[in-house]
Structure 1
Amino acid sequence: MKERAREIVQRCGCRLHETHGLPCKCKMDALSDAGMELHPHHLHRFWSSLVHESPPDGAKWEDHDATERGIFAAMVEDVYRQGPAAVRKASQLLLPHIRPQVAGLLEPRESEAPKGRPPKRSNTRDPSWFEHERTRTAKRSKTNENTRKTHKTTPAG
């Protein structure tokens, strides 16, 4: 496949057939010189399978525009029914498309994670000297109570 692509590029410098499945100018010139026409089998299956729908008889583009407006109006009504938060979000989404000059003037979003170093301790106050001494002596007395006391016994006798 790569060799074939190189051959085409060397011959005419075109990769259109390999990349898109469409005949390049060289191929179309060769068909024209041979007196042949361009047929769907010269194209990739993708291009032959495309279906172009035409509007139904009597339909005009104005009807299409009216339908689009109706769909948009129904969506706006749905947003209104959902409440003020939905209206705010929808207006923020539409504003850059409707008024691009105002889009940069919106309020900045709040940062979810605050910047800076996290606090090292909670917001409780430091203990006073009296409280500090009381806890220190309480710890000291507890350690004295928990130590094992041994009594020397003298041998009887």
Structure 2
Amino acid sequence: MEVSLWAIELLMKERAREIVQRCGCRLHETHGLPCKCKMDALSDAGMELHPHHLHRFWSSLVHESPPDGAKWEDHDATERGIFAAMVEDVYRQGPAAVRKASQLLLPHIRPQVAGLLEPRESEAPKGRPPKRSNTRDPSWFEHERTRTAKRSKTNENTRKTHKTTPAG
């Protein structure tokens, strides 16, 4: 069974590592490969490290040679070519299409011109004002308390009708 070269490199680095106090088993936890203490335990028991000690991911990787340079596409050049072809199509459609395409592209190319700048900072921040002042914006609870207090005062000031009782 084949194993990835990357896994073998990681195992070699782990094998060369020195354990100061304790292993921590990081390689086992993060990559599914035996850590230094596991490899030492295997060698002390006279056993060899086999692919079944590794997570199956490391043997499922495709082992191929890199593609030929002639077959490999330059994706940036391809995308530039596609974009250039789209620009030519827009030019052929006329001024209205150019205007609409430029309106669509403007926010992406020049956000400062399109009016998509970062919002300004609040001029009246919440909390205590500077210069050691004791005044501050009221909390929600304080705001609600004063609002309900004002509401109850207005109800008290409403005109009350007195019931008249017939004299009798």
Q: Pick closer, same or farther for the CA change 1:88–1:58 going to 2, 3 Å.
A: same
Aligned partners of 2:129 and 2:135 also within 8 Å: no
- Equivalent pairs, count: 157
* Counterpart-to-counterpart distance in 2, 1:86 and 1:139: 59
Q: Pick closer, same or farther for the CA change 1:120–1:53 going to 2, 3 Å.
A: same
Q: 1:70 aligns with which of 73, 81, 85?
A: 81
Q: Pick closer, same or farther for the CA change 1:35–1:21 going to 2, 3 Å.
A: same
The equivalent residue for 1:108 is 119
Structure 2: unaligned runs, 5 residues or longer = 1-11
Aligned partners of 1:96 and 1:103 also within 8 Å: yes
Q: In the TM superposition, what is the alpha-carbon distance from 1:36 to its structure 2 partner?
A: 5.5
Which deviates more, 21-30 or 125-134? 125-134
Q: In the TM superposition, what is the alpha-carbon distance from 1:156 to its structure 2 partner?
A: 38
CA displacement 1:90-131 (0-9 Å, x = unmatched): 999999999999999726599999999999999999999999
CA displacement 1:12-69 (0-9 Å, x = unmatched): 4325424542111112233455666543221111232122554323448774554465
* Counterpart-to-counterpart distance in 2, 1:130 and 1:7: 60
Aligned partners of 1:23 and 1:42 also within 8 Å: yes
Q: Pick closer, same or farther for the CA change 1:73–1:54 going to 2, 3 Å.
A: farther
User: What is the TM-score of this pair, normalised by structure 2?
Assistant: 0.30
* Counterpart-to-counterpart distance in 1, 2:146 and 2:37: 96
* Counterpart-to-counterpart distance in 2, 1:27 and 1:141: 76
Which deviates more, 112-121 or 14-23? 112-121
Q: Pick closer, same or farther for the CA change 1:138–1:95 going to 2, 3 Å.
A: closer
Q: Percent identity?
A: 100
Structure 1 or 2, whichever has the larger Rg, is 1
* Counterpart-to-counterpart distance in 2, 1:116 and 1:25: 55
Which deviates more, 29-38 or 69-78? 69-78
